[in-house]
Amino acid sequence: MDSVCIKVQNLSMAYDDFVIQRNLNFTINRGDIFVIMGGSGCGKSTLLRHMIGLQRPQQGDILYNGQSLWQADSATQRRILQRAGVLFQSGGLLSSMTLAENVALPITQVLQLPTKKVSELVAYKLALVGLAGFEDYYPAELSGGMQKRAGLARAMALDPEILFCDEPSAGLDPVSSKLLDDLILNLRDSLSATIIVVTHELASIFAIANNSVFLDTETRTMIAAGPPRQLLAESTDPKVLNFLTRGQTSTANSTIRQGVANE
């Protein structure tokens, strides 16, 4: 089987005449935890919306297992995207529904299953993210980290081959963020899923990503791609290094780069 899962090809994104990013070309391999990174306003979340079929590109295409997303008809697009799950930045839970009802929603919309089987699947998905026993809780009764995990359970409801996560650590304290990183790693390993993460959180980037693309705000294109640790160790681009070292001095940069390389 081809190892390529997603191929972004000559992609340009714009709002009317305002170009967000242009000429994006990168490949996501099966089993990757692939990070889309860059500073605020560079178009990370916009790129994710293009990849999940919510926003049409100005030009270019996105291929899933060699099949075009944007040249396909609507029925084919739905089939392609049914293989993907999405964790939205806020968790995206419906506040009027319990966790069980939230997780059950995509299952009941796509599959015709007995109520008991749906309940079993929901309990299993919540257990995977450490929320066993919280089926009857409402989102407002949970902490931010628990809401993110519940959103992740819903994103996995249909056993997706590909999981998209938009700023999963946003708004979380360091401990909750670390727990979510560990969960993403465990899900990749246990479900053999390909995971695409939009983030600017350095701790998460170095903890989970084995591949990445860096979007630049000024040039409005990608200026680096590859494993984040390799970019930190080998890149000579000051923008990439400034981002990956939090803008430390050159002396500090050297220390940080050596420390990461030795981990």
Which of 31-35, 37-41, 83-87, 172-176 has maximum average pLDDT? Answer: 31-35
Half-sphere exposure in the Cβ direction for 11 (13 Å, CA):
29
* Position with higher pLDDT, 180 vs 138: 138
Sheet holding 221-225, edge to edge: 84-87, 162-166, 194-198, 33-37, 211-216, 221-225
pLDDT band at 250 (very low <50, low <70, confident <90, very high): low
Phi-psi region of 113 (alpha: psi -120 to 50; beta: other; left: phi over 0): beta
- CATH number, residue 58: 3.40.50.300
- Are 34 and 154 part of one and the same domain? no
- Are 106 and 200 part of one and the same domain? no
Rounded mean pLDDT, 97-111:
93
- Are 69 and 1 part of one and the same domain? yes
Rounded mean pLDDT, 19-44:
94
Percent of the chain with pLDDT over 90: 68
Domain boundary residue, one of 158, 177, 202: 158
Q: For residues 62 and 64, what is the distance between their CA atoms, to the nearest angstrom? A: 7
**Is there a domain that residue 241 lies in?**
no
- Are 109 and 221 part of one and the same domain? no
- Are 1 and 78 part of one and the same domain? yes
Q: What angle do CA 160, 2, 53 make, to 5 degrees?
A: 45
Q: Read off the amino acid at residue 207.
A: A
Report pLDDT for 256: 52
- Are 58 and 178 part of one and the same domain? yes
pLDDT band at 61 (very low <50, low <70, confident <90, very high): very high
Q: For residues 39 and 239, what is the distance between their CA atoms, to the nearest angstrom? A: 10
Helices (H), the chain: 44-51, 74-81, 99-110, 115-128, 144-155, 174-191, 202-208, 228-234, 238-244, 250-262
**Is there a domain that residue 88 lies in?**
no
Contact residues for 242 (Cβ-Cβ < 8 A; gap 6+) = none
Q: For residues 84 and 72, what is the distance between their CA atoms, to the nearest angstrom? A: 16
**Is there a domain that residue 260 lies in?**
no
pLDDT in tens, 178-207: 888 998 998 888 888 899 999 988 999 999
- Are 76 and 171 part of one and the same domain? yes
- Comparing 98-102, 107-111, 230-234, the range with the smallest average pLDDT is 107-111
Q: For residues 84 and 246, what is the distance between their CA atoms, to the nearest angstrom? A: 32
Domain boundary residue, one of 113, 143, 158: 158
According to DSSP, the residues that pair with 214 across neighbouring strands are 37, 224
- Are 104 and 41 part of one and the same domain? no
pTM assigned to the model: 0.88
**Is there a domain that residue 57 lies in?**
yes
Above 50 in pLDDT, residue 42?
yes
Report pLDDT for 88: 85
Average pLDDT, the chain: 89
Rounded mean pLDDT, 7-18:
94
**Is there a domain that residue 255 lies in?**
no
Domain enclosing residue 209, as ranges: 1-83+160-227
**Is there a domain that residue 67 lies in?**
yes
**Is there a domain that residue 129 lies in?**
yes
Report pLDDT for 257: 55
- Comparing 11-25, 41-55, 173-187, the range with the smallest average pLDDT is 173-187
Above 50 in pLDDT, residue 251?
no
- Are 4 and 74 part of one and the same domain? yes
Distances in whole angstroms, Cα of residue 222 to Cα of each of 30, 61, 100: 21, 16, 40
- Comparing 6-10, 46-50, 68-72, 197-201, the range with the smallest average pLDDT is 197-201
**Is there a domain that residue 34 lies in?**
yes
Report pLDDT for 10: 97
Report the domain count for the chain. Answer: 2
- Are 18 and 58 part of one and the same domain? yes
- Are 106 and 218 part of one and the same domain? no
- Are 116 and 188 part of one and the same domain? no
Q: For residues 112 and 100, what is the distance between their CA atoms, to the nearest angstrom? A: 17
